[in-house]
Structure 1
Amino acid sequence: MPKEKKAFPLRLDPELYQVLEKWASDEFRSVNAHIEYLLRETANKAGRLRKSQDKN
Structure 2
Amino acid sequence: MGQKKRFLLRLDEKLYERLEKWSSDELRSVNAQIEFLLAEAVKKAGRWKDEPGKAEEE
Note whether the superposition's TM-score is higher than 0.5. Answer: yes
Structure 2 length-normalised TM:
0.86
Task: Mark the runs of 5 or more structure 2 residues left unpaired by the alignment.
Answer: none
Q: Which has the larger radius of gyration?
A: 2
Taking only aligned residues, the RMSD between alpha carbons, in angstroms, comes to 1.5
Aligned residues: 55
**Identity of aligned pairs, percent?**
55
The aligned residue for residue 13 of structure 1 is 12
Task: Mark the runs of 5 or more structure 1 residues left unpaired by the alignment.
Answer: none
Structure 1 length-normalised TM:
0.89
Q: Return the structure number with greater helix share.
A: 1
